[in-house]
Amino acid sequence: MYSFKNDYSEGAHLRILNALIETNLEQDEGYGEDRYSQKAKEFIKDKLGRPDVDIHFISGGTQTNLIAISAFLRPHEAAIAVSSGHILGHETGAIEATGHKILSVEGRDGKLSPTDIQEVLDGHPDEHMVKPKLVYISNSTEIGSIYSKQELQSLHDFCQKNQLILYMDGARLGSALCSEENDLQLSDLPALLDAFYIGGTKNGALLGEALVISTKSLKEDFRYHIKQKGALLAKGRLMGIQFLELFRDDLFFDLAIHANKTAGMLREELKILNIELLTHSPTNQVFPILPNSVITVLQNKFSFHIWEKVDSDTSGIRLVTSWATKEEEVVSFIEELRSLLT
């Protein structure tokens, strides 16, 4: 059974494993103060065009979100997120467990706009309510959509004007930046965001996200927060070596391009089959709406998530591709589907 369930079903890109082997017996400092981590940070700063940002490697997305948000906010301050936002429904209350409320807004296409945020601000005028302070967005979003440069610019401007922190969850940032519809560059991000992370786990690493903090006031003492939340790995080199490999050339982007390409293959074929999609996703997630009977048969050969019920006969499913997706399996999925529909 082949899996389109997510983008973390396999191990890591082989270059990464080889790098681990090559460096294996060299002794180095613990807790992320090793040479590989330092070098990896320099490569990323280079690509960002911003030597002044701070970069921290953290093992996963929920971990990164909870450390960053709890470090950035004072106790009475809250985050704002779109209702499909990962921190709202899929992190077991990790943010609330650090003491902070998340204010949910409907949004559109999985994205937030200044109008959405203004409504939250209007509804929170005084000390009987939390103080909205941080805007959480994802790119690509949980439903595969992406932010345009213009959209991000207006969010940035709005947040600046209202003294809000703009934070981006980049679990699938690679796929977003490599989307054909994308007009953002990695180097645009530090100026548009107070902080964001570059996802490694879902783009070819064994584990690891690179948190980038561009706003000076948010940088202070950040390693204390990582350690306090249990996330300062003794062998931090494990993440340094991986990000070094991903960013010493363009491997990070090459892997995302492959994920997008295979998702694109799926989309094109689905279009030919006249299958409607739940959302407009130009990234590595595809959400076709299929008859339940077809879904049941497909599940014998492929694994994927049933995303939501559409009506009594049909449901939207989620197909995720990755750096490791085999093109022949995409072909074989489409063939199976075609045979079921005709």
Which residues in the 4-33 window bind a second copy by CB under 8 A? Answer: 5-6, 8-12, 14, 17, 20-21, 23-31
User: Angle, to 10 degrees, between the axis of helix 251-272 and the axis of helix 327-341?
Assistant: 10
Residue 47 or 229: which CB sits closer to a second copy? 229
In the chain the beta strands, taken as DSSP E runs, fall at 2-3, 54-58, 77-82, 102-105, 131-138, 165-169, 195-199, 209-213, 285-286, 289-291, 302-303, 305-309, 314-320
162 binds a second copy (CB under 8 A): no
Subset of 104-123 contacting a second copy (CB under 8 A) = 104, 123
Nearer to a second copy, 21 or 51 (CB): 21
Binding test (CB under 8 A) with a second copy, winner from 62, 141, 179, 321: 62
Least distance (Å) between residue 225 CB and a second copy: 6
Site for a second copy in 65-84 (CB under 8 A): 65-67, 70-71, 74-76, 78
Options 46, 49, 52, 99; binder of a second copy; rule CB under 8 A: 99
- Which among 66, 64, 118, 117 has a CA at the least distance from the CA of 96? 66
Q: If binding is defined by CB under 8 A, does position 253 make contact with a second copy?
A: no
| Least spacing, CB of residue 154 vs a second copy, in Å | 26
Measured from the CB atom, the residue of 182 and 203 that comes closer to a second copy is 203
Q: How far apart are CA 166 and CA 172, in angstroms?
A: 17
**Residue 1, burial from CB neighbour count under 10 angstroms (0-12, 13-18, 19+):** exposed
Residue in 2, 47, 151, 248 binding a second copy, rule: CB under 8 A: 2
Residues 295-324 contacting a second copy, CB under 8 A: 324
Q: Under the criterion CB under 8 A, does residue 216 sit at the interface with a second copy? A: no
| Interaction between residue 221 and a second copy (CB under 8 A) | yes
Q: For a second copy, which residue of 48, 53, 63, 174 counts as binding (CB under 8 A)? A: 63
Query: Which member of 216, 223, 280, 301 binds a second copy (CB under 8 A)?
Result: 223
Q: Is 128 in the site for a second copy (CB under 8 A)?
A: yes
* Closest distance of CB 128 from a second copy, Å: 5
Minimum CB separation of residue 152 from a second copy in Å reads 26
Asked if 215 is part of the footprint of a second copy (rule: CB under 8 A), the reply reads no
